[in-house]
Structure 1
């Protein structure tokens, strides 16, 4: 069996490694000319670290990533109203890591080259079209800039792992249209600075009207400084931004002014934004869950299948879970069509629930709850811990990382 993967992002590369582990031939095609460590920070939850651990990658990741110890919520005045341990601190068998998205992608890319061989990974290869018949799938890849055909290849399966603007999805659903904009714009950056709280904490501040997420993605240097990843979420209403472009620079001074009052004794948000090398912006967007991913020998994975708001640390994590189940299904089923339907029947409903839950603000709805209940701040004895716990526990179940269920797996 040979699987063609369109897209060498985190999901596509993890799928290639998982399929290779099952003895399945894989060929990966990536649109860009050179894979570089782009992007900023992401958080990877224990359920996806289990998959990467089974691929033998946990120790390599741990050498440069930060093992997240706890998740802490604050209101816009810097008052803490929720804290919970994360990863191994919470009793999971696997850690939770905060890390640089680009470094994880490069690690996966290097492992693919090492294990699959250089000839299995192709760059400057944008999917132009595909067709399938009883003998397999034929895919054509072009140089996106010139339109020149670069590769025509045939396999038994085609997996679209080519992101929110997936060409595979567009050919399966030609009338779907662009991603759906949420009226929220995300502003991302990294700043070298002294760590806050215990040095391995992930902080959520404010409400969905104006929010800040911050966590370290590097070990301290000789001066004790860490690379702090931060994401500002501001409800901007209508926006001229149409596409999620990780590399579009924003007006940094405008953002500094937005956060000028956010200076707390444990974190100076204004200065953190001010000292970033650059600030990037893109509209927070997703797509409606699909009723069907699989068409014969073709299916979808990751953001191509289920782009979601970056809430609850689940974007890359869900793509990695897709990759594992896809490989398991293809290695066990009696036919390709049966295998892909088995994969879809497991992952499509699960990820659809996460997409819709993230639209409802996911676990971060507790931020809006506290803002609504206590707009001027609160006294410690006023915090409704039981109501907040109900929201947090429910999200763990929806996203597939409740501790008891996950720890029962290998």
Structure 2
């Protein structure tokens, strides 16, 4: 199909990737986001081969290599630092033809935003949609509205538009743990600079992953009741208590974090949805299949969504709704 106007709600990894792919296919694309300033959710993400290959297809492979960290190995260690498993990633890289790239989310989002050749309209909260024979109209909190041939709801795990697609509220489910995450200067006394090191035990995790700029992306997972109070002034004391007796590298990591630049989300995910599409509206990324943050697959799947949706629009002449149904069948 040609000459489509497409509205994307959400300027995260999925929305921006979809916007880039759709613009490269020749479509008119508008991206809106409710935030006043684009800021990444979380400090880092590991992009594995499926996500990086999407960027390669979009001509962004070299850009990704410049901002991604070099990760050649993975190590799993016990609470006390005993080596449990040492994984050489090079055989995997050779088999799939692409190395993974750990990356700071801010760097990734900036790269994607720079690659999208259009305006991202911020401070634009979409509060509803309506379909008719002319297309789909998005309504915004400020009274603005826009009509397009299709709408992509890439508005995250707490999507406002998911209810329209499903005709019911589906709330994210608490996964039972809190995730402290951020960036620290890379140092060999914390972990090898080419290795993702993960300490596991007591239902907790402490992790260090190399990203560009001679930094480590870290996260510390702790099972806690939902709604446990959070105060950055207490983060280090709390983490020292949660990880008391763990390996020296974990203790050094806790000492070096900047609590006021450390995120602390309660982790949620979504169960499988019965559908991802209604008429000319499609869910994409976390609005469709939010996962716990393991192996970066929330972000990688969002990237795949954008490319797959674009391909189906490009390769059918049977209408928008048919193309979106094909997208749904593959991505659900």
Would you say same fold, with TM above 0.5? yes
Task: Classify the secondary structure of the residue corresponding to 1:17.
Answer: helix
* Matching residue within 169, 193, 199 for 2:193: 199
Q: Describe the superposition over 1:301-335 as per-residue Cα deviations: whole angstroms up to 9, x where unpaired.
A: 00000111112321111101111101001111221
The size of the alignment, in residue pairs, is: 323
Are residue 171 (structure 1) and residue 164 (structure 2) matched? yes
Cα drift, residue 258 of structure 1: 1.9
Q: Is the 8 A contact 2:48 2:295 kept in 1?
A: no
Mapping 1:59-78, distance limit 5 Å: 59-78=62-81
Aligned pairs for 1:142-153 within 5 A: 142=141, 148-149=142-143, 151-153=144-146
Distance change in 2, residues 1:319/1:88 (3 Å): farther
Query: Hey, what's the Cα distance between the residues in 2 that align with 1:8 and 1:257?
Result: 37
In structure 1, the residue matched to 2:213 is 219
Quote the residue 2:7 is aligned against: 4
Change in CA separation of 1:288 and 1:59 when aligned onto 2, cut-off 3 Å: same
Q: CA, structure 1 residues 291+208, in 2 after alignment: closer, same or farther (shift >3 Å)?
A: farther
Q: Cα distance, 1:161 vs. partner?
A: 0.1
CA contact (8 A) 1:6 1:12 kept: yes
TM-score relative to the length of structure 2: 0.91
Q: How many angstroms apart in 2 are the aligned matches of 1:87 and 1:134?
A: 53
Residues 248 and 282 of structure 1 are in contact (CA less than 8 Å); yes or no, is this contact kept in structure 2? no
In the other structure, the counterpart of 1:255 is: 239
Where in structure 2 are there 5+ consecutive unaligned residues? Answer: none
Counterparts of 1:43-122 in structure 2, within 5 Å, are 43-86=46-89, 90-91=93-94, 92-112=96-116, 115=117, 117-118=118-119, 121-122=120-121
Q: Which moved more, 1:121-130 or 1:178-187?
A: 178-187
Alignment deviations for residues 146-193 of structure 1 (CA, whole Å, 9 cap, x no partner): xx22x3111010110000111110333464253111221111122224
Residue 327 of structure 2 aligns with which residue?
Answer: 343
Secondary structure of the 2:35 match is coil
Aligned partners of 1:100 and 1:324: how far apart in 2?
A: 22
Map 1:304-383 onto structure 2 (within 5 A): 304-333=287-316, 334-348=318-332
TM-score (norm 1): 0.74
